[in-house]
Amino acid sequence: MKNQTPYSMKIHWSDEDRCFIGTCPEFPHASAFGDTQEEAIRELALAIDLAIQSHLEEGWTLPEPAVIKEYSGQLRLRLPRSLHAHLAARAETESVSINTLIVAAVAAELGKKETAGSTPAVLPR
């Protein structure tokens, strides 16, 4: 691809528009469409170039390009003593560690299909 940018691009299919839509998280107002993914990418690269040009002409600070973040897999969590006790009792009942119970609960909750107006459960049963 001729136009290269350090900014991120997201390409999605739109059933409503019957084409691919490209957006750039760093420039929320930059978007483009195309009949193919490649066309949407090319058009979005042009839109990003125009957004950069506009920022520079106006003297605005350019947003930082998004970068791939590394995660340690570790999280320190504070919770009420009563919830800690509830988790400990449940983990003991299921013969797993509290850590395993929390990981399973978070994974189950994130795996649920989100529906409008639904309230997430604290712990799956």
Give pLDDT tens digits for 6-21.
Answer: 999 999 999 999 999 9
Distance CA 100, CA 95 (A): 10
Q: In this structure, what DSSP letter does residue 58 have?
A: H
**Residue 104 burial by CB count (10 A; 0-12/13-18/19+): exposed, middle or buried?**
middle
First to last CA, the chain: 50
Question: Between the CA of residue 79 and those of 75, 82, 84, 89, 105, what are the distances in Å?
Answer: 13, 8, 7, 15, 15
Residue 66 backbone class (left: φ over 0; alpha: ψ -120 to 50; beta: rest): beta
Instruction: Give the pLDDT score at 87.
Output: 95
Instruction: Give the pLDDT score at 2.
Output: 53
Distance CA 113, CA 90 (A): 25
Q: Is 123's pLDDT higher than 70?
A: no
Q: What is the pLDDT of residues 18-72, one digit of tens each?
A: 999 999 999 999 999 999 999 999 999 999 999 999 999 999 999 999 998 899 9
Instruction: Give the pLDDT score at 4.
Output: 78
In degrees rounded to 5, what are phi and psi of residue 56? -65, -40
Q: Is 3's pLDDT higher than 70?
A: no
Q: In this structure, what DSSP letter does residue 15 have?
A: T
